[in-house]
Amino acid sequence: MADGPALKLDGFLPYRLSVLSNAVSRKIAGIYEREFELSVWQWRIIAVLGEREGLTSTEVAHRTLMDKPTVSRAAASLIERGILERHIDSDDRRRAPMRLTEEGQAIYAAVIPRALESERQLLDALSAEEAETLHRLLSRLSAVVSPDSPLWGDE
**66 torsion bin: left (phi>0), alpha (psi -120 to 50), beta (else):** beta
List the domain boundaries for the chain: 14-145
User: The pTM is what?
Assistant: 0.84
Mean pLDDT of the chain: 90
CATH class of the domain defined by 14-145: mainly alpha
For residues 42-59, average pLDDT: 94
Q: How confident is the model at residue 155 (pLDDT cuts 50, 70, 90)?
A: very low
Q: How many CB atoms lie within 10 A of CB 46?
A: 23
Residue with the bigger pLDDT between 96 and 73: it is 73
Q: Is the dihedral of CA 27, 36, 101, 80 positive or negative?
A: positive
pLDDT value, residue 31: 82
Q: Dump pLDDT digits (tens) for 19-29.
A: 999 898 888 88
Residue 125 predicted with pLDDT over 70:
yes
